Amino acid sequence: MTSAYDVVVIGAGIVGSAIARELAGHDLSVALVEARRDVGDGTSKANTAILHTGFDAKPGTLESRLVSRGYHLLSDYAEHTGIPIERTEAILVAWDREQLDALPGLQEKAEANGYHQCEIVDAASVYAAVPNLGPGALGGLTVPGESIICTWTVNLALATDAVNRGATVLTDHRIVGVGLDRELTTLHTGTGESVAARWVVNAAGLGADHVDGLFGHHRFTVTPRRGELIVYDKLARALVDKIVLPVPTARGKGVLISPTIYGNVMLGPTSEDLQDRTATGTSQAGLEFLLAKGRALMPRLLEEEVTATYAGLRAAIDHGDYLIEADPAQRYLLVGGIRSTGLTAGMAVAEYVRDQLAAAGLALRPRTALPDPPRMPNLGEAFPRPFQQAELIAADPAYGRVVCFCERVTEGRSATRADRSSHPPRSTDSGDAPGP
């Protein structure tokens, strides 16, 4: 048994890392416990990396509230930490009469979600905004606030910040059993080691229902909903500088075309319910489906080279909203169903969890002095990269030595986390589900 913590957060994705950071801002001992070898190695590394305004959320839901709040929190945090973010805007395009007729309803929905910047535009304006769009667009809805962001840097910044605030990160700690006692909960790991906690937060993403079961609950089931994506070469970036959205359906947000923060263009994601929670490989059928969509949306994009394909698994649940519930008797809180908006909402989920824990009886005293948030190295193509910064190179010539010529990673940058970070990398392996 290692030491006992006031709070143990299970799962070091964006949501768990944001919660650990938030709680570590209080007079508490906090541990962030992760099954995998590194933080941010689950769904948080393989998504579409859009900072959503929440314009299309279901009004009145917890998700709508937290996405909208998370949008502002993460925008602000990105500014303070250097997480790369680009204010690209989005345009939602209607391709048939039915979709065109749906635009006023979508605008009303955005208003109901507190987002008042959407405008309905005609076909000419759509083509003026995205000249390379395929033929047949009938009109659109602008969403000026939608932005692109680096999901990896978000996760890493939150986990690093949590560590700087005193939290302990325990990787390679998969929770496989729970022992409940009056004072302490014992979390048993796959290696035989255990971690003791006064309070436990379950932010295990795709594994949240299994962990919930260990506490004796049977309230939901996670269905992994795979989203496959195609990433095009940086030369394609000139084709599109906005996020091109489809009209959403009951199954989700649909297939989009978006610039990436790294200077590429992506097409996707698909939406397919699976059984296997580890199935992060791409499929021939998924990629063919995307190519057919892409051919109609932007034929010129298909002439560009494909750099990569990847897939991520949304933690879809049989419940129409985020499922965040505290059990004061067990000193336990579940964070479930953070399906397709958790990158955006993570920091707001953390605030909400903090308040739920306080209401359930956890004593929270904010720390008087907190360290500054970490300054993250820039991975975004739209901002000066280390190899372009003469001052940085003068201070440390390693920033002038390029070790990866495709992505122009310098020796200084590749050493950044290993040598200087409070949360050094556990592996240089990009894993089985590379992100955008």
Ligand X SMILES: Cc1cc2nc3c(=O)[nH]c(=O)nc-3n(C[C@H](O)[C@H](O)[C@H](O)COP(=O)(O)OP(=O)(O)OC[C@H]3O[C@@H](n4cnc5c(N)ncnc54)[C@H](O)[C@@H]3O)c2cc1C
Q: Where along the sequence are the contacts to ligand X (CB under 6 A)? A: 10-16, 33-36, 41-44, 47-50, 52, 174-175, 203-207, 211, 227, 269, 312-314, 338-344
Q: DSSP readout, 135-155?
A: TT--EEEEETT-EEE-HHHHH
Cβ nearer to ligand X, comparing 149 with 398: 149
Cβ nearer to ligand X, comparing 382 with 402: 382
Residue for token pair 């795709």: 206
CB 188 within 8 A of CB 177: yes
Angle, CA of 360, 363 and 369, to the nearest 5°: 135
Q: Minimum distance between the CB of residue 362 and ligand X, rounded to whole angstroms?
A: 20
Q: Cα–Cα distance between 193 and 419 in angstroms, integer?
A: 28
Q: Minimum distance between the CB of residue 152 and ligand X, rounded to whole angstroms?
A: 11
Type of residue at 417: R
Structure tokens at 285: 């059928």
CB 414 within 8 A of CB 390: no
Q: Minimum distance between the CB of residue 394 and ligand X, rounded to whole angstroms?
A: 38
Q: Minimum distance between the CB of residue 359 and ligand X, rounded to whole angstroms?
A: 22
Where helices occur in 259-404 by DSSP H, the ranges are 284-297, 342-360, 390-395
Cβ nearer to ligand X, comparing 30 with 392: 30
Return all residues near 109 (Cβ < 8 A) that are at least 6 apart.
55, 56, 59
Cβ nearer to ligand X, comparing 107 with 344: 344
Q: Minimum distance between the CB of residue 6 and ligand X, rounded to whole angstroms?
A: 18
Q: Minimum distance between the CB of residue 222 and ligand X, rounded to whole angstroms?
A: 10
Cβ nearer to ligand X, comparing 142 with 270: 270
Cβ nearer to ligand X, comparing 154 with 301: 154
Closest CA to 229 of 288, 269, 286: 269
Return all residues near 15 (Cβ < 8 A) that are at least 6 apart.
44, 203, 205, 335, 338, 342, 345, 346, 349, 350
